[in-house]
Amino acid sequence: MKISQKGLYALQAMMMLARHRQQGAIKIRDIAYEEGLPEKFLELILLELKNARMVESIRGAKGGYQLRRDPADVALSEIIRLIDGPLAPFGDAEHLRELIDRDLPHRALYQVFLDVRDAAARILDHTTLADLVSRGGSISKNGKRQKKSFASILPMVVGGHNGD
């Protein structure tokens, strides 16, 4: 499973919308600023999320984007599958099952890939935006809430290796 930069941005934007759900629609520029995301790229991501009916856009001076559903009803797996496709390293789970049945000499290898996919899917299917928002950011020494940095996991999430 590989989560692209676009997938990571979509998750961050959806988390921001979940955190600010009570405020109503949030402007793209405000989402981009708070999350440190490129505004033009974010526009494309939000349009894709809108077309999938995960967010809705509100027109006008107080317009912007907001979640269509309660954050507790939006699993991370939905967002990742929409943006990045199947969670399996080779197509989808059904494709892996076919390989397990068809390629007997490599059955054990494909079974491991299916087990990895199933474990990741279980976690992502059972983790919602509300779960992430409730976990919040870390607390700094001065007692103020900070956003967690993805910098330490980004090479693992986006590329899967460090160039070796």
| pLDDT tens column, 57-108 | 999 888 999 999 999 999 999 999 999 988 766 667 888 899 899 999 999 9
What is the Cα–Cα distance from 101 to 57, expressed in whole angstroms? 46
Between residues 123 and 87, the one the model is more confident about: 123
More confident residue, 149 or 129: 129
Q: Is the pLDDT of residue 132 over 60?
A: yes
pTM of the model: 0.76
Query: What does the pLDDT read at residue 91?
Result: 67
Q: Is it the case that residue 3 has pLDDT exceeding 80?
A: yes
The predicted pLDDT at position 87 comes to 76
- Which pLDDT score, from 0 to 100, does residue 93 have? 82
Question: Which residues lie across from 56 on neighbouring strands?
Answer: 66
Q: What is the pLDDT of residue 153?
A: 38
Average the pLDDT over 120-145 and give the result: 74
| pLDDT at position 49 over 70 | yes
